[in-house]
Amino acid sequence: MANQVPEDGTMLPLMEEFYTIQGEGFNTGKAAYFIRLGGCDVGCHWCDVKESWDAELHPLTHADQIVQNALKHPSKAVVVTGGEPLLYNLDYLTSKLRTEGIKTFIETSGAYPISGYWDWICLSPKKFKPPYWGIAQYAHELKVIIFNKSDFAWAEEHAKMVSPECKLYLQPEWSKATEMTPLIVDYVMKNPQWEISLQTHKYLNIP
């Protein structure tokens, strides 16, 4: 899937890019430019961007052009997401962004080794393809999607792997929010080291 992408990261399969308000986790409510890369083999059945999975459907775009597009917007913050962005070498893209004074954020399942230079790493591990060993130590934020009751134990397993400074979030999967949110509220009240993340962009009806 990723074999046709240059190993130096100068060209990346760009699915979409858009300027919006961050909707989840620690940085909720902040303006940011989102770069969504195509390609993912994690395979979450509840994924809401399954069209991102096949990297070949999305045109290879030069990282310099992506940086120039980001510079057109007032916020100097870029979120790289997917798909699974760590399928690719992100050193070139992030170094160029930082040279332009743009802060770099990533949302990743952690299924592949870390690349790139990051101001904020959001690790959102998935049972379908658990995180690559060692990536948890770099995470600034652990965001676990709660789809069923067993996911609380999954969340605690990964909380043991991150640093003491890492922010801990539980987020209801959108289609199960009515069922899972009350359970998350109860869990966080009993385990206040965790906080609740909601997909506020869906309530706001923005990307």
The predicted-structure confidence for 66-109, as pLDDT tens digits, reads as follows: 999 999 999 999 999 998 999 999 999 999 999 999 999 999 99
The answer as to whether 199 is a domain residue is: no
Domain-embedded: residue 128 = yes
**What CATH code is carried by the domain that includes residue 52?**
3.20.20.70
HEC profile for the chain?
CCCCCCCCCCEEEEEEEEEEECCCCCCCCCEEEEEEECCCCCCCCCCCCHHHCCHHHCCEEEHHHHHHHHCCCCCCEEEEECCCHHHCCCHHHHHHHHHCCCEEEEEECCCCCCCCCCCEEEECCCCCCCCCCCHHHHCCEEEEEECCCCHHHHHHHHHCCCCCCCEEEEEECHHHHHHHHHHHHHHHHHCCCCEECCCHHHHHCCC
- Say how many domains are in the chain: 1
Is 119 inside a domain boundary?
A: yes
In a domain, 184, yes or no: no
Higher pLDDT, 12 or 129: 12
Residue 73 belongs to a domain = yes
Residue 19 lies in a domain: yes
Residue 205 domain-assigned (yes or no) = no
The average pLDDT across 124-136 equals 84
**pTM, whole model, 2 decimals?**
0.93
Q: Is the pLDDT of residue 2 over 70?
A: no
Q: What is the pLDDT of residues 168-206, one digit of tens each?
A: 999 999 999 999 999 999 999 999 999 999 999 998 999
pLDDT digits (tens, 9 = 90+) for 10-33: 999 999 999 999 999 999 999 999
Task: Examine the pLDDT at 117 and tell me if it is beyond 50.
Answer: yes
Domain that holds residue 158: 11-141+150-165
- pLDDT at position 200, please? 95
In a domain, 183, yes or no: no
